[in-house]
Amino acid sequence: MGWLTKILKGSSHRGQYHGRYGEERIWDEARNSVDELTDIEREQLDYVIAMSLAEEDLKGKKVIGDEPQSDEDEHLARAQSDEDEHLTRAHSEEDEHLTRAHSEEDEHLTRAHSKEDEHLTNAHSEEDENLTKAQLEEDEQIAMAIQESLNVGSPSPPRYDSGNIFQPYPFFFPSGHRICAGCNTEIGHGRYLSCMGGVWHPECFRCHVCNLPITDHEYSMSGDHPYHKSCYKEQHHPRCDVCKNFIPTNSAGLIEYRAHPFWQQKYCPSHERDRTPRCCSCERMEPRDTKYLLLDDGRKLCLECLDSAIMDTHECQPLYLEIQEYYEGLIMKVEQQIPMLLVERQALNEAIEGEKNGHHHLPETRGLCLSEEQTVTTILRRPKIGAGYRIIDMVTEPRKLIRRCEVTAILVLYGLPRLLTGSILAHEMMHAWLRLKGYHNLRPEVEEGICQVLAHMWLESEILSPSANDVASSSSPASSSAGPSLTSSKKGKRSNFEKKLGDFFIHQIESDTSSAYGDGFRTGNRAVLKYGLRSTLEHIRLTGIFPV
């Protein structure tokens, strides 16, 4: 508004010139008044008036002689001539004075108009300069916007969300007859935004999350909604489920993270190398500062899995009887009494080394159908939980296993949730049934595959059974040393987490990538679904392979 102020000052200045001109005109007209005549002029004028009056008097009187009358006329003629000459000089002086006054006035007005024109010229020059600068800045912003839009169209992946891109900031342009896409009213004089295929009042272009106007140089898009970059990051940028921070981008500017295929956890790749603990049962990486039960063999058990964990041989016996009853329901009763022992990892590994037959799922073996005579250390009493969530007061006992049939014992790793322990028992029980029924020298993918089919079937029966949701499992009463927090899932309805845990164990069997346990299960499961369990087993007994 600087240039407008100057124009207004010029107009005021011009008005002052008109006022001064009027004063001069008044002064010029006053020069013709009687008060301004000189004394000589006044005497001459009085004389002329007196002579004129005398002449009027003579006109009314009788003339006595010619000669006096002639002298009088000559005197009057001379007086009239002097008066005319005096009036001529007065008018000449007045005309000269008026000419000089008009000349001075014209010169004064000329200087005033010259100053006014110079002032207006400077004002217009400053206005043109400001408009030029504004246009250059606007052109520069438009060029930047075009460049950023070209960069957005490049094939490089987005930084925050694979389905979204970052748009350049919508720059301001002069308004016209346009309708705001936000409030559907006409955009009047002022600035507006042009983006997302429409035009907006600056206050109407708002973030979809915080509903505040977007005034940043850039904004982000998700679907049809604009976001502040910070709001978009908070809404869409994944946070690590372990450290709770935003997952950082890699050297290429992409968000790289690890995700559990079942639990859908997202975590920084660095946590796979920084010794972040992982539950030995559910395989989840728990958030930082989460409490774990540290088992004496180095395994870590999350507190949710600990809630239904089976910790000693005596506690596992009711579950073992359930598995035997399940097999009886399938017309596959095991007649021999096979010992079942809950053991530590070290005892299980030693038993594997002494076993000549069998196929074992590495790197973690959780169960074993033992065929050889061995001495195995079993857990007699549920251990207590000491300071720092560590196992203490574990009572073990060596057990001499005598071979009375093809199977000497079934061993299961201790400290696993009930559903996982039951699926391991169902798997190892199938090994025992095959050996006791004369299924010898089967290929690993056939024997391990059909055993996984039985473990899968038992888990499904537990998850889908109506009684599983209403009645507590009959594992065993909780030990007084365990405390109520370790036995809640065994008294009353199964917890939602335990149901989810059962689904996870089913998912583990179905998604196993090993040839014996994974491919073998999928081939055997298709055969059972197509021909039934009894026909499939009969085909295996006759041919040693699954029916196609």
Question: Which pLDDT score, from 0 to 100, does residue 47 have?
Answer: 65
Q: What is the pLDDT of residue 89?
A: 76
- Alpha carbon dihedral 9, 11, 16, 21, in 10-degree steps, equals 150
**Among the listed residues 419, 418, 404, the one whose alpha carbon sits nearest the alpha carbon of residue 373:** 404
Q: How far apart are CA 481 and CA 117, in angstroms?
A: 104
3-state SS class at 263: coil
Residue 166 CB partners (closer than 8 Å, separation 6+): 152, 158, 159, 160, 218, 219, 220, 221, 229
pLDDT tens for residues 131-146? 667 666 655 665 555 4
In SS3 terms, 375-410 reads as EEEEEEECCEEECCCEEECCEEEEEECCCCCCCCEE
Task: List, in order, residues 6 or more apart from 189 with CB less than 8 Å away.
Answer: 175
Predicted local distance difference test score (pLDDT) of residue 534: 95
pLDDT at 90: 67
Q: Which residues of the chain register pLDDT less than 50?
A: 1-36, 58, 60-69, 146-173, 175, 469-492
Compute the distance between CA of residue 65 and CA of residue 343 in angstroms, rounded to an integer.
Answer: 181
Q: From its phi and psi, is residue 438 left (phi > 0), alpha (psi between -120 and 50) or beta?
A: left
Q: Could you give the CA distance from residue 107 to residue 319 in angstroms, rounded to a whole number? A: 122
**Res 168: pLDDT:** 41
State whether residue 206 is helix, strand or coil.
strand
Looking at residue 124, what is its pLDDT? 63
> Do the Cβ atoms of 321 and 337 come closer than 8 Å?
no
Inter-residue contact 369 to 376 (CB < 8 Å)? no
pLDDT tens per residue, range 342-388? 999 999 998 888 776 655 555 578 999 998 889 999 998 888 888 87
Q: What is the pLDDT, as a whole number, of residue 291?
A: 86
What backbone torsions phi and psi does residue 343 show, to the nearest 5 degrees? -135, 165
Q: How far apart are the first and last CA of the chain?
A: 90
Cβ–Cβ under 8 Å, residues 301 and 281: yes
CA angle 249-254-260, nearest 5°?
80
For 217-241, b where at least 16 C-beta lie within 10 A, e where not — what string? eebbbbeeebbbbebbeebebeebb
